[in-house]
Chains A and B, each alone.
Chain A
Amino acid sequence: MALLELNNVTKHFEVRQGVLQKLQRQPVSLIKAVQSVNLTLGENEVLGIAGESGCGKSTTCLMIAGMLQPSAGEIHFSGKRVDQLLASEQAWYRRQVQMIFQDPYESLNPRFRVLETVAEGPRALKLWPEKEILERSVDMLSSVGLPPAKYAERYPHELSGGERQRVGIASALVMEPRMVVADEPLSMLDVSIRAGILDLLKDLASKRHFSCVYVSHDLSILGHIADRLMIMYLGQAVEMGPTWEVIRNPQHPYTRALINAVPVPDPRVIRPVPTIRGEVSRPINPPPGCRFSPRCPHATTVCQQAFLQLQPDENKPHQTACVRLEELSQTNQLAEASP
């Protein structure tokens, strides 16, 4: 059984109205940040969520981590519904799910020393006696590659970016979570040390048996860590499948454009030109259909009305939310133009 299940999870935000608009009784505009997303996450699995800014990946993350309540839909964690927890159960869920944040310079309290930061979570939830908390925190520091004798008493400003991110990882994993939600944990770090953090995460995931939701805009990194990939566009999931398949054989016109747009560190490679037009808008009162349709070179009127929802299905792992997919692949229209 899946560890995490999202059923039709939706999040809408109201656009703030001015006094004048309120007086005129204008209808409230909604930012439909996440629209009817379904997904599952197995034990010890790494699910990558990719998309551009504003695609709803971070909002999805926050809902999974229990920091934000969905407007509709259900989130189940190990068989238990967790989107509307009682206060007494929240502490339990807080421990099961931990977050790793994007900005290592912002996510550590500047007034806390490294060991205090790591021990803070267990102390707040009173997980163990104080002595055990200290022991576990110290062990955790060693296992993220920060020798405690050297690092325990340091303040964040005395650490490099990579070291800070390791502290962030330690303070998440010391709670012994069953699931970790990582929101772009590498994007602020230097290229030469990213691989080290990535390896650390992979290594700890297999040793400590946690599942991971890894959110990033960087498909080349996701390709190296995720088992499965979900691509989002303006709040809708457009494609989902095993990482390699999605990257090697993308189906949705958006996924194709996205993957073709990733620069390749090889001067001889010439990428095909993505054939999409326009710019990303904001999902304010969007039309009911596929939100990519205004930019899609293959869109017809059907696309503006209908949207396929992805349904997790073990027999059909690779799914695409494109109404015209079959039609397009038969006529081989999906091939991109070469420059």
Chain B
Amino acid sequence: MTGERLLQVQDLTVRYQTQMGEIHAVSGVTFFVNKNEVFGIAGESGCGKSTLIRALMRLLPDNAKMSAQSIEYEGEELTRLSEAKFREKILWARMSLVPQSAMNSLNPVYRVGDQVVEAIRAPKNVTKSEAREPVTQLFDIVGLQPDLMKNFPHEFSGGMRQRAMIAMSLALDPGLVVMDEPTTGLDVLVQERILRRIREIRSQISSSIILITHDIAVIAEMSDRIAVMYGGQIMEQAPANDLFDTPCHPYTLGLKNAFPSIRNLQQKLISIPGSPPTLLGAPSSCPFLERCPFCVQQCSQRNPENITIQPLHEVRCVRHGEAPLLREKASEKETWRSLN
């Protein structure tokens, strides 16, 4: 997979000022997204995945500070753009967002079609009737009947609203669509239909997608490459098949153990003991340290560096060299229990 670079993020850090101190919600995140690719970011609550995309879309709250060595998008350095310029030139037009719980993001007093029309009209300066035509197409792409445009959001089911939000995010034909938990809270059959629709959209348009979710199965099915986040850092990233065939980071191994599969009912589910770190202060050790059954002294002394073990496969773990051994041990329940 040697596609053309669309987005390249170097060393992105986001800190929140709180009463307790400085929280490093995202620290030193580096990744790229190619053209026409689905990049999945997996992680549990508090891992920093939502903060990461908010930083990318410049939608952080006031008490957050963001810094990055470089964020290059379609050859343009975004860190040099002012917030106003970013909103004017990039947001929605070239990079759009399907927010978390998007079903509730539609304005209840306007017709759904009008809201999508408005999304096209505002920046492109076209008339209402000119904008209608592409909206009909968009509705078609996300699998909604065009006559539903006249309906109000409350007449839509959760899945239909979600699809309308996806239609809106595609309205200006952006190069990158960021989807934050697009199917969380939806029923399985609705989720299935939306995921299928997203896959079809990919084949029809050239946008890349960043997909953020805690659902390992969804991310496995949808993504070309996957990054696993924990404690504000990307612990491991690799092409989807590599990540599932040869996971290297203990956290990835733990997640795989804990996630049930309907195809493998004999699998013994193993949970990761403990709970996520608080992220107070700059990371001075491996954030997974306290929950890791494989930690050694080195892990507590410094934050492990990002190491490329294979082309496109990067891991943040000092024991990356012993991956086969770790994989073998991680599949035993005893390994994870001994921590408690």
Contacts and interface: CB of A to CB of B under 8 A. Distances in A.
Interface residues of A, number: 45
A271 B220 CA distance: 12
A84 interface: no
B271 to A, nearest CB: 4
Nearest to A53: B187
A302 interface: no
Contacts of A257: 189
Contacts of A160: 275
A263 B218 contact: yes
Nearest to A192: B272
B188 A258 contact: yes
Interface in A206-241: 217-221, 223-224
A193 B196 contact: no
A14 interface: no
5 contacts: A192-B271, A199-B269, A224-B260, A265-B216, A266-B244
Interface string B216-248: 111011010000000000000000110010000
B191 interface: yes
B265 A223 contact: yes
B134 interface: no
A263 B273 CA distance: 25
Contact of B215 (A195, A221, A263): A263
Contacts of A190: 44-45, 214, 276
Contacts of A273: 196
B260 A264 contact: no
B157 A264 contact: no
Interface stretch (B95-103, B249-257, B297-305): B249-257
Given A223-B262, A266-B263, A194 B271 contact: yes
Given A162-B275, A223-B262, A261 B160 contact: no
A266 B262 contact: no
A192 B188 CA distance: 21
Nearest to A261: B192
A314 interface: no
Given A53-B187, A263-B195, A266-B263, A191 B275 contact: no
A160 B187 CA distance: 26
Interface string B15-59: 000000000000000000000000000001100000000000000
Given A263-B215, A274-B192, A194 B261 contact: no
Contacts of B267: 224
* Pairs A-B, 7 closest by C-beta atoms: A196-B271, A263-B217, A195-B271, A261-B192, A195-B269, A52-B187, A220-B260
Contacts, number: 126
B265 A267 contact: no
B154 to A, nearest CB: 13
B171 interface: no
Contact of B241 (A247, A259, A267): A267
Interface in A168-221: 190-199, 217-221
Contacts of A271: 221
A267 B221 contact: yes
Contacts of A243: 265
Interface residues of B, number: 43
A265 B265 contact: no
A195 B217 contact: no
B259 interface: yes
A219 B262 contact: yes
A266 B218 CA distance: 9
B188 A262 contact: yes
Nearest to B275: A160
A22 to B, nearest CB: 24
Contacts of B272: 192-193
A192 B258 contact: yes
Given A199-B271, A265-B256, A280-B189, 16 more contacts: A52-B189, A53-B187, A190-B214, A190-B276, A192-B271, A193-B275, A258-B189, A262-B188, A263-B220, A263-B221, A264-B217, A266-B261, A267-B244, A268-B241, A274-B192, A279-B157
Contacts of A244: 265
Given A52-B189, A269-B263, A191 B160 contact: no
B159 interface: yes
A140 B244 CA distance: 39
B189 A274 contact: yes
Given A52-B188, A263-B220, A276-B189, A191 B214 contact: yes
B166 interface: no
Interface string A277-315: 001100000000000000000000000000000000000
B187 A217 contact: yes
Interface in B198-221: 214-218, 220-221
A160 B271 CA distance: 15
B226 to A, nearest CB: 8
A199 B254 CA distance: 16
Contacts of B188: 52, 217, 219, 258, 261-262
Interface in B310-330: none
B201 to A, nearest CB: 15
Contacts of B215: 191, 263
Contacts of B135: none
B271 A247 contact: no
B114 to A, nearest CB: 22
B36 to A, nearest CB: 17
Given A195-B258, A267-B244, A279 B217 contact: no
B157 A280 contact: yes
A264 B258 contact: no
Given A224-B265, A266-B244, A267-B240, A191 B216 contact: yes
B217 A265 contact: yes
Q: Which of B191, B256, B263, B272 has the most CB of A within 10 A?
A: B263
B21 to A, nearest CB: 18
